[in-house]
Structure 1
């Protein structure tokens, strides 16, 4: 085993749950509460609840596959088993990887937006991306140090942020007298069913971190049992946290105030009742949550990219860098995340991530339904339900974004088309080389 390879069985059940919740809570609550409220209106807590239901159906597919085939880069493994070494499998795995990298840039910008709430600074447009890129660089350095440090940091951060968020939620609800300002202040015309479902599509991003656990299957102790348990525990913990925060924010701020402060809505929600002290407490928890979430995500993405390379599904160039594939993938991951964090705002980053993830998720469920259902003992009606839930959320989200920000739809379609085309070209070259090598060996 090379020094860069993470040790098999090095993640305990508690460590795995901490890693999963670390990614979810880092991305979900702090980055997406205001974004979801903007689309779903005063019913945004219900959007998080429905997103949890959708994620539960989705998790069924991943748990069934991981129980039988635990593996690092687990999503790539699922796709290859469902579709073989094809363009669909390789491109879909890259969509998932890009969705996770997009999530990293989302979390990094959230870190910047919250950190600046501690200071009276006006020029946030420049400083947010600077802080975001800085955090990504730190996450890279910690990941180079290896799995033991990541696991230790994730456990400590998970306890601090879950505890801190629940304290914030309870205090905000108590201070407001358990009223719900967001609902009472909403205008009558509302957002409509399509807007609500678009909010649900974004809220799904807050739960998709459970796939981090799937991608780390080989590092989990007793993976046949613990991967599924860790996924369900992570989803349950995050649902409790998200619902408590959604009601706390809605009890402190009107819907208009939530949308106005959508990039740092939790910090703003603590201001009416607790002033600067409450803002400071919330920002510190946000910094812990986003930093640990980014740390865990970089770990998972680099492992998945390394596996895709080993499976010969994506090309690899080391560009003169020292070390092996794992370190190279860490570099590629943080470079792409840093570019996105520097040039895209939170809303567009979240939109692109939601589209990529939902498309990939539908492809996975369909592949398991069509080719692997009997092999892993999955129930057809659950797989079909997962596809329909994803399709409804994706369709509503595309409809809403097509009217409000058509450019991001064009970017999503164009980039996905490019990914599929480049993968088809690369895999064609790989097959031609294999055929040429096979013919050469026979000629001799």
Structure 2
């Protein structure tokens, strides 16, 4: 059985886990992509993303208050749809999207770390460093909840303070005034559909709040503190994102932001810090990736363990000692390592976004259809979350179909394969009982 410890994660620890995943490599990698899609007013897209996330988080908070669970999203789906193929498939979609994100974070860690060294860099060093980070996160996760929450909380505080200092320095150089960045030459007019699609990327920067729901049974006073931790984490992340976006948009043109990509914040702070801005940003990125992947591995392994306990996904011990949760931790880390070594994750990040948004819609619909009265959820807020997610997903798919059809095909194929695999597995389990 899984070995969860009730009351082992404090409110501060839960906030540390949430912000550890949210303020991760995503914000460093997403700035250029969001600016490219949405144009001069890209900071406002982060506000739009927080609004969509706010509506979405309402469902998770209400469910956590009624069903605090170490499996979080998996338990929510069981309550909404029962122990069937829809529950198992949707939960695995969430797990796969998070594992994809872990691999993206790992490769980002490798890329940023190598920026500290001059000269030609071997391409194999990026995945090698990424694998090292994943193994490090595994060691941290087997150390116990107390160490995890202490480590992530301290590292998250350092990361938040550092990013805020960098952003405020950039804003100070701009005399604390906000002006939309100049478009520059060689840029086409941004379509409304492209701007809405950019919201999907910003949602990725906020979706880390689900890490908190996946640890619900282990948080002290979960019916009160899960909601508080989610609200605090989203609020802190939004403030940090807006400061970063303000600093970048006030000091760089859109062309410069797109060209700088992962280093946009460093370029914006260069007038204040000079070349040390790059070093400072790289160090903060390393801290962000470490905390992000530790918290993500922590959450995914727990959700998979809960699904295994309910016989919703297959499980093999392979001779490993210890609990099921320890086994799923090994599986999570192993798959992350394979993805980190084998793939260029630019496209896979988009696949992760598609999987996450579809999963989110399925959860909201299950709550609206079957549980809204039981958990006391406002049906209009839940429906609003479904509508907002659907609009963002539609335009994101539309942009990807036009620009990179393979991403959409692969995402849909993964969903079909997951569903078929779970359908036959559950059918076999039921016939054997």
| TM-score, length-scaled by structure 2 | 0.96
Distance in 2 (alpha carbons) for counterparts of 1:371 and 1:238 = 32
Once the two structures are TM-superposed, the CA of residue 327 in structure 1 deviates from its matched residue by 1.5
d(CA) in 1 for partners of 2:390 and 2:122? 36
Q: Give 2:141's aligned residue.
A: 143
Residue 324 of structure 2 is matched in structure 1 by 325
What residue is the counterpart of 1:239 in the other structure? 238
Distance 2:119 2:89 in 1: 42
Is the CA contact (8 Å cut-off) linking 1:114 and 1:267 kept in structure 2? no
List gaps (5 residues or longer) in structure 1.
Answer: 435-444
Q: Is the contact between residue 348 and residue 407 of structure 2 (CA under 8 Å) also seen in structure 1?
A: no
Partner of 2:264 in structure 1? 265
Q: Does 1:276 align with 2:272?
A: no
Give the stretch that moved more between structures: 271-280 or 36-45: 271-280
Residues 27 and 107 in structure 1, CA contact (< 8 A), matched pair in contact too: yes
**1:325 offset after TM fit, Å?**
1.2
Structure 1 CA distance for aligned equivalents of residues 230 and 299 of structure 2: 15
Matches within 5 A, 1:353-364: 353-364=352-363
Q: Is the 8 A contact 2:73 2:91 kept in 1?
A: yes
1:127 aligns with: 125
Q: Write out per-residue CA displacement over residues 167-204 of structure 1, whole angstroms, 9 at most, x where no aligned residue.
A: 00001111234466862134674221111111100110
**Which segment is superposed worse, 353-362 or 286-295?**
286-295
Corresponding position: 1:207 with 2:197: no
Q: What's 1:31 paired with?
A: 29
Residue among 56, 59, 62 paired with 1:61 = 59
- Per mean C-alpha deviation after superposition, the further-off stretch among 297-306 and 125-134 is 125-134
Question: How many angstroms apart in 2 are the aligned matches of 1:181 and 1:128?
Answer: 37
Spell out, residue by residue over 1:407-430, the C-alpha distance to the aligned partner (whole angstroms, 9 max, x if none).
111111111111011000100001
Measure the CA separation in 1 of the matches of 2:181 and 2:376. Answer: 44
Deviations 1:120-153 (A, max 9, x none): 2444643322221211111011111111110110
Residues 269 and 340 (structure 1), Cα distance of their counterparts in 2 relative to 1, 3 Å cut: farther
What secondary structure, in the 3-state scheme, does the structure 1 residue paired with 2:124 have? helix
Q: Which residue of 2 aligns with 1:216?
A: 215
Structure 2 gap segments, 5+ residues each: none
Instruction: Name the SS of the counterpart of 1:205 in structure 2.
Output: helix
- The residue number in structure 1 matching 2:372 is 373
Q: What are the superposed Cα offsets for residues 24-62 of structure 1, whole Å, 9 maximum, x if unpaired?
A: 001432232222222222222111110100000000000
Distance 1:350 1:156, change over 3 A: same
- Counterpart residue number, 1:398: 397
Contact 1:116 1:124 in 2 (8 A): no
1:107 equivalent among 105, 121, 128: 105
Partner of 2:388: 389
CA distance in 1, matches of 2:400, 2:179: 27
* Matched residues, number: 432
Q: What CA distance in whole angstroms lies between the structure 1 residues aligned with 2:261 and 2:334? A: 26
CA shift in 2, pair 1:113/1:251, >3 Å: farther
Aligned partner of 1:294 in structure 2 is 293
Counterpart in the other structure of 1:10: 8
**CA displacement, residues 59-111 of structure 1 (integer Å, 9 cap, x when unaligned):** 00000111111111110111011111111111000001111111211221221
8 Å CA contact 2:267–2:277 kept in 1: the answer is: no
